Amino acid sequence: MMSSPPPPAIAPYHAPPNYPPPASQAGQVTDGRAAASLVLAVLGLVFSIPLGLPGMIAGTIAYFLGKSAKTRIAESNGARGGEGAARAGRIVGVIAFALGSVMTLLWLIVIFTALVDVPFGE
């Protein structure tokens, strides 16, 4: 009888190669102006509905802070993050300014209409 072939030799274990860790954004710091832009834009939106003028002011400041933050983030070569917050701050700032303008106009119409309807001494 013929003997069966010997079992195949087991290959020695080799550890997996050392690959560099995946690139992460842990080193990025959110730009302070981007965060401030978003916070001011949301506050401007909230206050533009009942009052108007604070929304116009906060919306304008939020827009320019967001614009400045986007420039700083682009110039930092990846060291700063928060581009999404800066973009959102600019967009919501424009909306807050527009809504604040409409509400301010409505308030002025209400005030001037009330002043005109005041009867003077007859």
Phi/psi at 3 (5° precision): -80, 150
Please say whether the beta carbons of 107 and 55 come within 8 A.
no
Task: Give the model's pLDDT for residue 29.
Answer: 86
Task: Give the model's pLDDT for residue 4.
Answer: 79
Query: pLDDT band at 24, cuts 50/70/90?
Result: low
List the structure tokens of 42: 């949301």
| Spatial separation of the C-alpha atoms in residues 64 and 62, rounded to whole Å | 6
Asked if the model's pLDDT at residue 13 lies above 90, the reply is no
Which CB contacts under 8 angstroms, 24+ apart, belong to 45-52? 45/92, 45/95, 45/96, 45/99, 47/100, 48/96, 48/97, 48/99, 48/100, 48/103, 49/99, 49/103, 50/103, 51/100, 51/103, 51/107, 52/100, 52/101, 52/102, 52/103, 52/104, 52/105, 52/106, 52/107
List the structure tokens of 85: 């917050």
DSSP letter at 76 equals: T
| Spatial separation of the C-alpha atoms in residues 10 and 72, rounded to whole Å | 58
Q: Please give the mean pLDDT across all residues of the chain.
A: 86
